[in-house]
Amino acid sequence: MTATDPIALSQALIRCASVTPTDGGALDLVQRTLEGLGFTCTRLPFAEVDNLYAVYGAQGPNFCFAGHTDVVPPGDVSAWRHPPFEGAVIDGVLHGRGACDMKSGVAAFISAFARLREKNWQPKGQVSFLITGDEEGPSVNGTKKVLGWLKDNRHVLNHALVGEPTGVVEAGDTIKIGRRGSMNVRLTVTGVQGHTAYPQRANNPVPVMAELVAKLAKLELDRGSDHFEPSTLAFATIDTGNSATNVIPAKVTAGFNIRFNDLHTPDSLTAKIREITDEAARQSGCEVALHVDVSGVSFVTQPDAYTALLNDAVIAVRGTPSEFSTGGGTSDARFIKDFCPVVEMGLAGATMHKTDECVPVADVERLTAIYEKVLELYFQRLGRAS
């Protein structure tokens, strides 16, 4: 298998059953291939997770491709039309877990570099890979720790591109320039338990929670900002755990998730919610407790020369520009943003995490061509200026 063939490389990666945090030989394969291209590779295992940092070149601006080789579990394997770890190509479509999220994205970037090298292209600086085996898991022993290691060892990244499947219809149609933040809040209302026949002797937390839920669910957090849709608040559950019909429960809990834009921080949102819960506690005599769990804060990479060159690379291949988006969930870009400007651009992601995950071979080829152009333009424009 040659490194210039992104399809063969994707198939080989899919055949490594790397359900997070298992590696299944995926990083060995990436390392072998990159070493064959002249990269210096460092394996960075943390706890049960293996990671890889690979760099080509010894000095100058460092353009980093970031991604992951772990995948989510396949679920019921018998429900798949083609086995999830076989990497079958049928009628121009590559099938398997990781086909779009994001083994083929990793393969496309490796092949883009290999194809340029075959034409004797040399980067005027460094090209690096930050590949983790912990993106689909808790994301504790992956990108975050590798970035810490890079910092401790004085490796500087100048710009990063995360190869997550951001495409809506095809590779390159959408570039994610930021992400909303996400936080989960657990509310607990505690009253006084009692007999449903004697409600005056109890302090029922259920109607208090019902009012709180209604109030919070209607809350307008904002009306959107320059690069973001309005923030949202959605309840996921309300529980009393009470199966008796003659008992007023002492306690009700409810849980909701907030996806927030760059107008908020977890602290500002918590303060806003606390105002409402404090008021409910005062009026009802119940105790209202909040437990906040932040998954990621909101960030945006302002459109500049970097996003312009990515867009130009897309135009060169597709003929039409990209949409800049900040929608969707969280990714490892949330850690990289503290080190250098970062955006995400990859394959069409319609089947990610689904049964029968697959990607058209043509889309992998398209992304490889876009990445090739990105590398060329980067070292023509930004590489020199940095």
Q: Write out the residues near Zn ion by the rule CB under 5 A.
A: 101-102, 164
CA 188 – CA 197 distance, rounded (Å): 24
The first and second tokens of residue 49, run together, are: 């997770």
Nearer to Zn ion, 106 or 209 (CB): 106
Q: In whole angstroms, how close is the CB of 68 to Zn ion at the nearest point?
A: 6
Q: In whole angstroms, how close is the CB of 72 to Zn ion at the nearest point?
A: 9
> Which residues participate in catalysis according to the annotation?
70, 135
Listed in sequence order, the residues at least 6 apart from 176 whose beta carbon sits closer than 8 Å to its beta carbon are 164, 166, 324, 325, 326, 327, 328, 331, 333, 343, 344, 345
The first and second tokens of residue 217, run together, are: 């669910």
**Where would I find the beta strands (DSSP E) of the chain?**
40-43, 51-56, 62-68, 89-90, 93-95, 126-132, 159-162, 174-176, 178-179, 181-190, 194-195, 232-239, 247-248, 251-260, 287-296, 299-300, 323-325, 342-344, 358-360
Q: What is the 3-state secondary structure (H, E, C) of 326-362?
A: CCCCCCCHHHHCCCCCEEECCCECCCCCCCCCEEEHH
For residue 58, give the DSSP letter: S
Q: In whole angstroms, how close is the CB of 292 to Zn ion at the nearest point?
A: 26
Nearer to Zn ion, 34 or 102 (CB): 102
Nearer to Zn ion, 164 or 262 (CB): 164
Q: In whole angstroms, how close is the CB of 334 to Zn ion at the nearest point?
A: 13
CA 18 – CA 16 distance, rounded (Å): 6
The H or E element spanning position 114 is helix 103-118
The H or E element spanning position 316 is helix 305-318
Nearer to Zn ion, 221 or 347 (CB): 347
Q: In whole angstroms, how close is the CB of 168 to Zn ion at the nearest point?
A: 16
CA 235 – CA 121 distance, rounded (Å): 53
**Residue nearest Zn ion, Cβ-based:** 101
Q: In whole angstroms, how close is the CB of 349 to Zn ion at the nearest point?
A: 9
Nearer to Zn ion, 164 or 363 (CB): 164
Q: Which of 376, 375, 354 is nearest to 161 (CA)?
A: 375
CA 178 – CA 188 distance, rounded (Å): 33
Q: In whole angstroms, how close is the CB of 176 to Zn ion at the nearest point?
A: 12
Q: Which of 161, 94, 172 is nearest to 131 (CA)?
A: 161
